[in-house]
């Protein structure tokens, strides 16, 4: 894959540039101290995950009072919100979020392929 193709892949350099921009915008707009802002960004993940659950319940019509209220495309959008929120939270913890994430994904991939090494010393995040 050449550099041009790599730039268009989700999670590539353009995505992390956008995450940096969102992080900077949020930093400029927040009115709370940095320590509190960090905690609130972590808590925001729970809110977004709850919206995924709500969309799944709505897409499957599991609330008999409401019936089908969402589509699977709504679930996709909510999952994307979770991912972006997590990326911004990671960027809040470290300016080198892209490298941190890439390294972690590589460790998970190595573990999933039965490889040993540094992956043994990382927390288990497998589904």
Q: What does DSSP assign to residue 7?
A: H
CA distance 1 to 9: 10
CA distance 28 to 21: 11
pTM: 0.78
Confidence of residue 4 (pLDDT cuts 50, 70, 90): very low
Tell me what pLDDT residue 114 has.
Answer: 80
Residue-wise pLDDT for 15-69, tens only, equals 999 999 999 999 999 999 988 999 999 999 999 999 999 999 999 999 999 999 9
CA distance 105 to 10: 14
Positive or negative, the CA dihedral 48, 77, 92, 11 is positive
């Amino acid at each position: 894959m050449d550099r041009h193709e790599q730039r268009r892949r989700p999670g590539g350099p353009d995505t992390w540039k956008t995450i940096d921009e969102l992080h900077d915008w949020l930093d400029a707009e927040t009115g709370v101290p940095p320590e509190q802002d960090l905690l609130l960004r972590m808590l925001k993940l729970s809110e977004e995950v709850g919206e995924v659950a709500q969309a799944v319940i709505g897409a499957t019509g599991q609330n008999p009072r409401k019936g089908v209220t969402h589509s699977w495309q709504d679930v996709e959008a909510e999952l994307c919100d979770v991912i972006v929120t997590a990326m911004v939270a990671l960027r809040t913890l470290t300016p080198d979020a892209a490298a941190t994430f890439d390294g972690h994904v590589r460790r998970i991939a190595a573990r999933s392929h039965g490889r040993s090494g540094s992956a043994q010393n990382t927390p288990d995040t497998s589904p």
